[in-house]
Structure 1
Amino acid sequence: MTEERTLARLDVLAWVLIYGGLFTLVLGIASHGRTAVGGWSLSVLGAVATVAGIVVIVVRARLSRKP
């Protein structure tokens, strides 16, 4: 059983990870021409953050509300 406040925080965390990760991924792709190592690093970091956000959504979906 989870409180509403905790569920709301998980929602915010999930979407911040997803949108932040996608933004970082795009920055990494855009910077591949200038610096290969920096571009790949940003791309991998963005992809990991996006996947982490998706995992948080799955975890959030399995939690039940407190009665």
Structure 2
Amino acid sequence: MAANPHARLENWIWILLYGGLLLVILGIATGRIEPFTGWLLAIPGAVAAVVGVVLIYVRSRLKDDKP
């Protein structure tokens, strides 16, 4: 088990943020050639990035288990 009990949450935050932003960028680039495919990439990417931002807020509200 990790030393930090919130380490898994922090990992998911960064995965969702960077993965979501990457999909948005790929969707924008693809959308110039094939608009439908671009939207199929950009919308889930934007949702993932927003979930990552919400998880940052959730993480900030959690209490640390330090004595």
TM-score (norm 1): 0.87
Query: Structure 1, unaligned stretches of length 5 or more?
Result: none
Bigger relative contact order, structure 1 or 2 (CA pairs below 8 A, ≥6 apart): 1
2:41 aligned partner: 42
Q: TM-score, normalised by structure 2?
A: 0.87
RMSD of aligned Cα (Å) = 1.3
Runs of 4+ in 1 over 6 A off after TM superposition: none
Unpaired segments ≥5 residues, structure 2 = none
Q: Sequence identity, in percent?
A: 45
SS of the aligned residue for 1:4 comes to coil
In the alignment of these two chains, the number of paired residues is 64
**Distance in structure 2 (CA, Å) of the matches to 1:33 and 1:57:** 32
